Amino acid sequence: MQREWMRIVKHTEVARDTYQLILNGDVAQHVREPGQFVHVQVSQEYFLRRPVSIADVNQDESTITLLYKVMGKGTNALTGKKAGDFIDVLGPGGKGFPLHDLNTQQALLIGGGIGVPPLHYLGKKLKEKGVQVTSVLGFQTKEDAFYVEKFKELGKVFVTTNDGSLGTKGFVTNVLPDLKDRIDTFFSCGPTVMLRAVKEEMCDVPGYISIEERMGCGIGACFACVVESNDDQGYRKICCDGPVFRPDEVILP
């Protein structure tokens, strides 16, 4: 993990209030697993860094791709950054999806909203390993949807929206019953309420979930982003023990 001023190569809006940042710098060479994140300092005006998951890595060009959603003043200020500007990045942080340990042939990616991006890099890596990838992407409405075409390059894609404006009306869990018998491992990232529903629906399938929480330091020192665990330790630190966990390892709040 390192602190680096990364250069913005490209900054574009990819859906309503959702932006894609391509950054150039050494951090790209240190990403080990899909699911890792970087901790971004918007400016000196905003005190805490923002954890943003890595949506893609190009080590030949030394770039990482981040997607973020405008949630408040800080992320809104981030939208003002332009190509050529430099941005203060700490990373790559955390433990991602443990690809090297996986023995899977049929993977199901289940993403919700701004939880979709890390699954994109995961899907690319799985496809490289010859794994069949199916994706379920959930958004609030059609205007919020992004990266659907990119996931289609990886395999079959099912989209759900809360209002039915794109794909199936409802939540990602509406389409899981028809898919779960055809896969051997699931990978999910999204809001906690979605992860809880996915965990319940997929309880008999091996899988991994990626959790988000407000962070302080992002390196494991401050104990802000803990989640209760199912063992004697009693907790896991999301920023350094995660953000990716086995579903039975943690108790979702």
Residues that bind another protein (CB under 8 A): 1-3, 41, 46-49, 74, 90, 213-228, 234-235, 240, 253
Query: At its nearest, how many Å lie between another protein and the CB of residue 220?
Result: 5
All residues at 6 or more sequence positions from 173 whose CB lies less than 8 Å from its CB, including other chains: 194, 197, 198, 201
Rank residues 186 and 245 by Cβ distance to another protein and give the closer one: 245
Rank residues 84 and 234 by Cβ distance to another protein and give the closer one: 234
All residues at 6 or more sequence positions from 147 whose CB lies less than 8 Å from its CB, including other chains: 14, 55, 67, 116, 117, 120, 137
Query: At its nearest, how many Å lie between another protein and the CB of residue 2?
Result: 8
Half-sphere exposure at residue 103, Cβ-oriented, CA atoms within 13 angstroms: 0
Query: At its nearest, how many Å lie between another protein and the CB of residue 107?
Result: 29
Two tokens at 223? 């104990």
CA nearest neighbour of 8 among 68, 88, 77, 76: 88
Two tokens at 146? 């992004």
Rank residues 200 and 223 by Cβ distance to another protein and give the closer one: 223
The Cα–Cα gap between 151 and 155 comes to 7
The Cα–Cα gap between 134 and 131 comes to 10
Output the DSSP codes for 103-116: --SEEEEEEEGGGS
Rank residues 71 and 83 by Cβ distance to another protein and give the closer one: 71
Rank residues 36 and 185 by Cβ distance to another protein and give the closer one: 36
Type of residue numbered 16: R
Half-sphere exposure at residue 143, Cβ-oriented, CA atoms within 13 angstroms: 3
Strands 168-169 and 155-161: parallel
Query: At its nearest, how many Å lie between another protein and the CB of residue 40?
Result: 11
Query: At its nearest, how many Å lie between another protein and the CB of residue 183?
Result: 31
Rank residues 35 and 218 by Cβ distance to another protein and give the closer one: 218
Query: At its nearest, how many Å lie between another protein and the CB of residue 39?
Result: 9
Query: At its nearest, how many Å lie between another protein and the CB of residue 253?
Result: 7
Rank residues 2 and 59 by Cβ distance to another protein and give the closer one: 2
Residue 63: other Cβ atoms inside 10 A: 19
